Structure 1
């Protein structure tokens, strides 16, 4: 076993500045496990984690260090890891885990609340953070795990759970009486996952907004009843009650939607920042005030309503149905080593990621 770990770190004040750092592997304490982070998905969602690192405490999950490293952050990613060493009586080397990891070669977790298919990380500094990110899947007992589709699962599972929860929320609210749901950044993986779920319900018209360059891809998904360019928002029926789900976070698009629909806009749901605008407007817009959708809050509610098993079963069924369709739309691109990881980071930060590709990366050469 290597005696050191490598981390990919970002300058919090300038996300374009990135580098790798090496550090000795820590000595395991009783109850801890050491994992080799085998591979992780990388999407625009991880850029959002960095952009909201201070505001939403994403930097706090895997601290980069103190002193001269105080300006550096480790971006969380979703992926697969193998237990290589353990001082936990119920988890041994060789077990494969899916969950929230650092962009690094290794991670140390302290599992508690074990079931056959999951555990929670109880590392002290993470106890105050949202529980949904501290939940880990033991793949041998996970009904939703498909070994031959690991890449798609790592890419889509953390995004599809958000889509699943928004779909559940909107359906629970009877779509606020709306007859159309409009999604910005329609080519994003979370957006077309939601569109697929909404289309399956068949309760509302599902409309995707996208750029000219992504229009053909979005139309080819078959998830949307209609696909429009951002410049064509005026063509939407402004008298038909609508819900807006904003994955773009564009000030101009959000303002145009609110002005176009006014009181016919029944709910405005803010989700993502794919257009890289940190403070899209929320006040003084016609219609309802945009409400930020925080997936962990919905998970907490549905855990109380259904129990953890109830969420897992419902989500597993939906994910199992979705993956075969997603596999037709997405090509998994693999990359290994620090150079590949930095290239993916810089390209995605610059908005150059292709909607029909998903990246599975590793810091292992």
Structure 2
């Protein structure tokens, strides 16, 4: 990352004339970088931008949370979530339907991430907004934070059923809200408000109200598992369903196998699109984002190949594995400076890892 620091222009305070400074930095090919201080001095553990309120939510490693107004560049709220100094690892925004009081909600997840035992707590914060405006595009925007109060807290660690009843540390992966709106004669406006936390040892699902689409939810959970490489729970379910040979088990196995193969196809298409500018010479210069995208795609293909092997789909598993190896080769050529054509070795892209030929890796 050191090669990108010279593109940043650090500002230790929030000056009144931000637009002129931004324009000056843009002409210089640089970006303004503002410091987001925490009174306790703790490091930032997560960031989340709320488009509807134009706010940046900052979670800290000591359990504190701040709300910054992106328009005024001022901190509008700062609080400690609970008495224990547990890091805030995820934040997500939820907007209720037709709420006359102009209130929105933040879900904040605090987790020790195996450092101090299994602690995982979900907190709901209510944001009371001064005004609610509907733009010409139809988008709803909120402006003027009046107060932020905690309304709900839930200990998730005590509600998880460990897989195979074994004692294992939990690691938080992701949290999301799923909201689908339906407008029909019979049902009218129907909001589905669900929260789901995906863990390496299980899944916690909270349903508030409304109709939910199980297949869409399962697909979202599978996607997160493949992306994060958390396959223990999934592989355990596949083995159990295979041994049970029940009607529902067969349906689940068929759905997962189709889902996995579709993701292999999509990953192959993404890899092709990333490789075209590298081989055709249309890529201006190599950068860290290109390398990270290639590595992410290769890791995803490797995880998908592992799951396909459980279904004994030999040809599909072999194809997914070959594509994964091909991605490794492209990464090796990229790091060695052989791609794009005419460029030298890129030391700053991965200074801690030597360039090894993929066939020699163990």
Please indicate, yes or no, whether the TM-score normalized by the shorter chain is above 0.5: no
Larger radius of gyration: 2
Taking structure 2 as the reference length, the TM-score comes to 0.25
Taking structure 1 as the reference length, the TM-score comes to 0.25
Relative CO higher for 1 or 2, CA cutoff 8 Å, sep ≥ 6? 1
